[in-house]
Amino acid sequence: MLIEIIIVLLVVSCSLFIHEMGHAIATVTVSKNSKAEVFLGSSSKAKKLRLSFGRITCYLTVAISGFCEYSIPKESPPFTYKQKLVFYLGGPIASLLCFVTLFIASHFVSGIAGNIIINSAGANFFLFITSLIPWTYPRFLGGLPSDGLQILNLVKANRKQREFST
């Protein structure tokens, strides 16, 4: 029983890491001066595994929530509407691609490893769906707005700005 709980926590943490790395990769792709930080769990940097990949820094632990922050140098212009949209869509797209890859891979592996792979695929699909629903996560999951809610708010603000300028 304990081993199953540990495996589930590791699968969830890996799925979250992939999702948040999608946001981070989108960030450093859309702007050559931007940097990204990925956090699993709280925003604390203490007692976490620190990994750096170029302009992406990750603070990792076993967790059921995570988020990605980006920073742009003050001399650079702020992110445009399209750059923000790419940032918000990066995580769900990474989760979807991971789901498809793991789902296909699960057909070639049997036994316990196959079960872990198909359940990992399911976790990524669940993360893909739930992150696109416009809602605010419960406090125990970070209490932040979902990617879907941030996309919706971004589209509304852009529409209002276009209506105001015409």
Domain ranges for the chain:
2-165
Per-residue pLDDT at 65 exceeds 90:
yes
Per-residue pLDDT at 62 exceeds 90:
yes
pLDDT (mean) for 20-46: 96
Question: Which pLDDT value is given to residue 13?
Answer: 97
- Report the alpha-carbon distance of residue 45 to residue 41 in Å, rounded: 10
Do residues 70 and 91 touch, judged by C-beta distance below 8 A? no
> Reading across the β-sheet that carries 66-71, which strands appear in turn?
49-53, 56-60, 35-40, 66-71
Per-residue pLDDT at 108 exceeds 80:
yes
How many other CB atoms are found less than 10 A from the CB of residue 68? 22
- Mean pLDDT of the chain, nearest integer: 96
DSSP class of residue 137 equals: -
Confidence band (pLDDT; 50, 70, 90) for 31? very high
User: What DSSP letter does each residue of 67-119 carry, written as one string?
Assistant: EEEEE--TTSPPPPHHHHHHHHHHHHHHHHHHHHHHHHHHTS--HHHHHHHHH
Question: Which pLDDT value is given to residue 165?
Answer: 79
